[in-house]
Amino acid sequence: MGRQLTRKLGFGSNGAWVASVVAIVCFLSGIAVTAHVGLLVRNELVSQHKQDISMELSEARARLEGEISRTVAHGLGFRAYIAQLEGQPFRPEDYRDIAADLIEKNPSIRSIGLAPENILQAVYPLEPNQAALGLDYRLNASQWPAVEQAMQSRQVVIAGPLELVQGGRALLIRIPVFPALFAGQPLEDRAYWGVATLLLDEESLMASAGISVATGSTNISLVDKGPSGTSSRILFGDRALADLDHVSLPLLLPGGLNWELLGYPEAGWSGNGRQVWITQFVGSVISLVFAVMAFLLISEIFKVRSMALHDPLTGLANRRLLEDRMSQLASMCDRTGVGFEIFYVDLDAFKPVNDNYGHSVGDELLVEVGRRLQKQIRQTDTVARVGGDEFIVLTPGNMRHGEREAFVGRLLERVTQAFEFSGASIDVSASLGSASYPMDATTIDDLLRVADGRMYAHKAKTKQTEKGIPDGELPQTG
């Protein structure tokens, strides 16, 4: 009650505020959904990019596995040749030709060493490896573990890569030799001859496998995860890749190696493709459209609701809304004992205004009277237009006689001021009658009839005064 009303067909600030809030919520919800969908699209693009990098790594892995497996196969062939010479005195020159042929066919092999009974007795090529001759692996703490592992497991063991004294890094492929005394002799029954070692140059191995630090737009690293997979060290490439959101593929290598290839795009993962921008643009447009539609829909709802309860000309409450508020106050009175007052205002001689100045001027006069009445009330009061030139002011709470008379006087004084319009001054007169609930009536209809009757009594006394008929009484107002 007591809301300040507007003339815009009843659509007041409260309706605009609600419509705006709903529109903002719809827009923000749409933007949130758009952001979520955009994130899903972005993640899908990143996932696709990772699949592409994984394909590149898969090709690099296949080449590297193939290169190492091919080298190990050459070593196994060399071991078979050694086994054929079982029972003959060891002479380094017996192995020179096949070693040279093996190195020529596989440029990744830097050198080949033979160690009967774990003592290095032959190295190919001899230079610059001659100083290593006579090395007893059992007395070398850095090399003996891999040799011992190969001897005990009877399997090929790959160690390294190790930093070489002569420069560079190399993998050591330890191939234990167990010659057969007769055809078909089980491996576990054969006696240990010694170990053959293939020294694999790391850079040559990577070059043979077609692997470089940067393959196109992808950076690649090779990591040794260690036997247990709990520790890792960078064998090849950039160490920083291990700390980035990389993709990785394990290598399936002989000799117990636990290596992984890491890949990361040089420019980072691409998640800002054309699809993301299209999704965000379309989502934002749809969100804006829904927000506008929500604003217009809520606005129309408030307008229709307001038109049903307000006078379309003045924007004041109509009879339906007035009676609804009077019923609410009557219900409150039953609980609290506090009633309310109504003041029935009727314009005198309103028809001549329409006849003399036109209906548009008459309408402006009605709007002005509504404004004048509103300026005299509290926020909790209500001004309603209930007829062509009839208005009712509803005030919660009962007034004492003196307060009521003073309020009536202010209303009449304000309403009857001359109305200035297009340079013309129009005299305004009005009659007023009031009634109190529940003192004058205990129903809404009876209360309206009481106020209406007193208003007409006031109108009659006014006419008597204008005709010069003596009447010493004041207008009946309650």
Which one-letter DSSP state was computed for residue 310? B
Position 148: which residue type? E
**Which of 158, 154, 155 minimizes the C-alpha distance to 68?**
158
The yes-or-no answer on residue 427 being catalytic is no
Count of beta carbons in the 10 Å neighbourhood of residue 346: 22
Active-site entry in 201, 348, 381, 389: 389
The CB density around residue 227, as the number of other CB atoms within 10 Å, is: 10
Amino acid of residue 91: R
CA nearest to 247, candidates 57, 41, 40, 63: 57
Tokens of 409: 């006087």
Phi, psi of 125, deg, nearest 5: -70, 160
Question: Please, which contacts does 448-454 make with residues 24 or more away whose CB atoms are closer than 8 Å?
Answer: 448/342, 448/344, 448/392, 451/342, 451/343, 451/344, 451/392, 452/344, 454/344, 454/478
The answer to whether residues 53 and 247 touch, using CB atoms and an 8 Å cutoff, is: yes
Question: Which among 415, 447, 428, 237 has a CA at the least distance from the CA of 339?
Answer: 447
User: Rounded distance, CA 325 to CA 328, Å?
Assistant: 5
Determine the 3-state secondary structure of 420 from DSSP.
strand
Show Cβ contacts of residue 150 under 8 Å, excluding neighbours closer than 6 positions. Answer: 156, 157, 174, 175, 176, 195
Active site residues per annotation: 389
